[in-house]
A = this chain, B = another copy of it.
Amino acid sequence: MSHPSTEPQPLPLLGGPPPERRDAARNRERLLDAATELVERCGPRGVTMDAVATAAGVGKGTVFRRFQSREGLMAAVLDHSETEWQAQVLSGPPPLGPGADPWDRLLAFGRTRLETTILHAELIREADRSGGSAGGALAFATAHVRHLLTQLGVEGNLTILSTALLAPLLLPLREQQVDLEQFPVDRVYEGWVDLARRVTRRP
């Protein structure tokens, strides 16, 4: 860290709001790391904001300045995980990624989305509302399904239809079925495929 100004720099290209100050960026990362670590160790419900602040070695105010609220922080942690899945969808190998038949992509989408939701269940619950990454992730998924439906030549109100297709994969519904009604995951997936056939008007 001692050679002078020969590095790329975070691109001083103006665009959005002015870039983050160095200390701010450093603290954001420390916080995100600390939060991720704590979530892993204590589960999302067991993590307090004070604990995160302390673990990251910053004051409490800083946590809230960066992430607005507890939910915002959880959303950020979640986002980190979800991003990987989104990358798979956008540019990973088929059938989830581009290149495969849209119908096969839709099926792969449903399957992996179901699994990811179950995996991140607690975190999603904690991050919900606040329109943060939770909303962001939802929007991403909706847009993707909509895209696939278009490619499949489905007519009608695509927003409603993709919502309907997505909904049974979402958390609150999942909980009712997997937890309360003791549905095995495979059976849920199977049911979802049936739904997808109907929505797309397949045999």
Q: Footprint of B on A, CB under 8 Å? A: 125, 128-129, 135, 138-139, 142, 156-157, 159-161, 163-165, 167-168, 170, 172-173, 176-177, 181, 183, 187-188, 190-192, 194-195, 198-199, 201
Contact = CB atoms under 8 A, between A and B. Distances in A.
A165 B163 contact: no
A120 to B, nearest CB: 16
A113 B190 CA distance: 28
A142 B177 CA distance: 11
A191 B138 contact: no
A191 B135 contact: no
Contact of A157 (B138, B164, B165, B194): B194
Contacts of A142: 176
Contacts of A172: 128-129, 170, 172
25 contacts: A125-B129, A129-B172, A135-B176, A156-B191, A157-B187, A157-B190, A157-B191, A157-B194, A159-B181, A159-B191, A160-B168, A160-B177, A160-B188, A160-B191, A160-B194, A161-B198, A163-B167, A163-B168, A163-B177, A164-B167, A164-B168, A164-B195, A167-B167, A167-B173, A195-B199
